Amino acid sequence: MQKLIFIPRPKLLKRCYLALVLCPAVLTFGCTAEADVQAGKAAAAQCQVCHGSNGISINPQTPNLAGQKALYLSNQLLAYRSGSRTNNIMSPLARPLSDEDIANLAAYFASLPAAGTP
Ligand code: HEC
């Protein structure tokens, strides 16, 4: 019976601990790199002609971005960039954006007050 009990060797145990410590660090860094709202604001200058200077569009065909969830915004920009969402206007605009640009733009527009906010 005693042979069934698994006693990890110290070396193996050390590796497990290392993996446990490193994996969340890598995941956190990869997924939630700190977005820079100020950098997003600067990059948003090119977006404002259509999406409005405050992220509220005056064109009925152009969506408001202000106050939208950052994750949703970045997912849409990633989708335009990858081609999984296509639009004649947005696809070419999203193509040159880096992951960092996208995270910053999303954080900036998400930080603006949504339409109808008193
Ligand atoms: C020339 C006009 C124009 C410019 C400039 C422009 N957009 Fe857009 N954007 C649009 C239109 C039109 C749509 C709706 C497209 C569609 O139906 O997929 C849109 C859609 C979006 C969406 C999806 C919104 C949603 O609710 O799904 C995001 C996010 C977005 N734009 C971000 C940006 C960002 C960031 C920039 C600047 C880098 C930018 N846009 C520049 C016209 C523009």
In whole angstroms, how large is the CA radius of gyration of the chain?
22
**What pLDDT, on the 0 to 100 scale, is given for residue 15?**
57
Nearest CA to ligand 1 atom 17: 87
Q: How many CB atoms lie within 10 A of CB 25?
A: 9
DSSP-based helix, strand, coil % in the chain, nearest 5: 60, 0, 40
What is the CB neighbour count within 10 angstroms for residue 22?
10
For the chain, strand residue ranges (E) read none
Report the nearest-CA residue for atom 13 of ligand 1.
Answer: 62
- What's the whole-model pTM score? 0.79
Which amino acid does the sequence have at 22? L
pLDDT at 106 over 70: yes
CA of 94 to the centre of ligand 1 (A): 9
What is the reported pLDDT for 25?
46
Q: Is 51 in the pocket of ligand 1 (CB under 6 A)?
A: yes
Gap from CA of 28 to ligand 1 centroid (Å): 28
- pLDDT tens for 5-59 read 666 566 655 554 445 455 444 444 444 558 999 999 999 999 999 999 999 999 9
pLDDT digits (tens, 9 = 90+) for 40-50: 999 999 999 99
118 vs 110 pLDDT, higher one:
110
Protein residue whose Cα sits closest to atom 2 of ligand 1: 50
Q: CA 62 to CA 34: how far, in whole Å?
A: 28
Share the mean pLDDT of the chain: 84
For atom 26 of ligand 1, which residue has the closest CA? 63
Going along the chain from its start, the domains and CATH numbers come out as 34-111 (1.10.760.10)
pLDDT at 9: 62
